[in-house]
Amino acid sequence: MELGLVQWFPYGDVARIRRVAAKLESLGVRHLRTQLSWADWCRPDGPAWIELLLDELSAFELLPVLHATPPSFGEIPYTSSVPRDLGWYAYFVRRMCVDHADSFDCVQLWNEPTTWSEWDRNADRSWHRFAEMTRLGAGEAKANAKDVVLAGISPPDGTLLGRGDAATPHFLEIMDAEGALTDVDVVAFHGFPGTPHWSVGWTSWDEEIAAIGDWAASRGKRTWITETGCSRRSSANRAQELRAVVAAAQHGGVERVYWYSVEDVTWQALREINLDWGGDPDDYATGLTPDLERVIEQVVRGGEPDPARVVLPIP
């Protein structure tokens, strides 16, 4: 099991890129998940910004998340908007894969389309348009020899898979039925148990990993957890939470886990259709602290988080 970290970089913040790179080096972490913003790429100097970002992070194995509709391309002017032409996203995917062919081996197509702040669910309640956008984008990535990671979903609700409820089909079942998984190599989910935005479908790491992992494996797909973590201001013991997800991933055959995040989010996120989202500073107080760094160093150097597995108390 490989452990990586997550960090988004606001446009032009080179100092943050260099701080994060130094922190990853000090911890021995090789995997970084970050956003390549479609909206930023469309700025006059956007391609140069993407080039700089990738150059600064060239020492790491990157999972770029190709995300964020340019507001002028959206049906409404938000980066979470459905593009007016779904093929425009596929063109962006192709350009990233061609222009930066040597910078990464895999791409993740979007971030959390199951949350209202990242995808306009009013315009696409059942993700049919998202499935078409993914199908087109995945085809472009695969044609350019990249492994394709499906957008990480939050909450995962893995235990709701296979119920056959036509009124409320699972996101993954919709993607499968719409043919969006043909060129997808990895199914991904996110896990933030205990947060106010979590789902009643959550049971525990073992059950979620087993449900989604089995579903994905039956279709020839691998499973990653591309984002998990908790706020520094929560009541949870964050080091225990990290040990728990690592132990469960090792037990359940998940190849890779990305912990969110290296630094706190300290800028205004201008992406949300739901403008109330993100008003709570606890949502973004997710940066590393010494207790987490000790666990990370242990895991990336091949140590077991706890040979007896980790059991967290039920709150």
pLDDT, tens only, 92-138: 999 999 999 999 999 999 999 998 889 999 999 999 999 999 999 99
Q: Which of 133-137, 146-150, 306-310 has the lowest mean pLDDT?
A: 306-310
What CATH number is associated with residue 212? 3.20.20.80
CA 153 – CA 230 distance, rounded (Å): 16
120 in a domain, yes or no? yes
250 in a domain, yes or no? yes
pTM: 0.94
Residue 315 has pLDDT above 50, yes or no: no
Please state the domain count of the chain.
1
310 in a domain, yes or no? no
Q: First vs last Cα of the chain: how many Å apart? A: 28
26 in a domain, yes or no? yes
CA 295 – CA 315 distance, rounded (Å): 23
Average pLDDT over residues 250-258: 97
Tokens read off for 268: 């205004």
276 in a domain, yes or no? yes
**Residue 167 contacts by C-beta under 8 Å, 6 or more apart in sequence?**
none
Largest CA distance in the chain: 54
**β-bridge partners, 149:** 108, 186
pLDDT, tens only, 259-278: 999 999 887 654 444 455 55
CA 152 – CA 167 distance, rounded (Å): 22
309 in a domain, yes or no? no
Range of the domain at 174: 2-300
75 in a domain, yes or no? yes
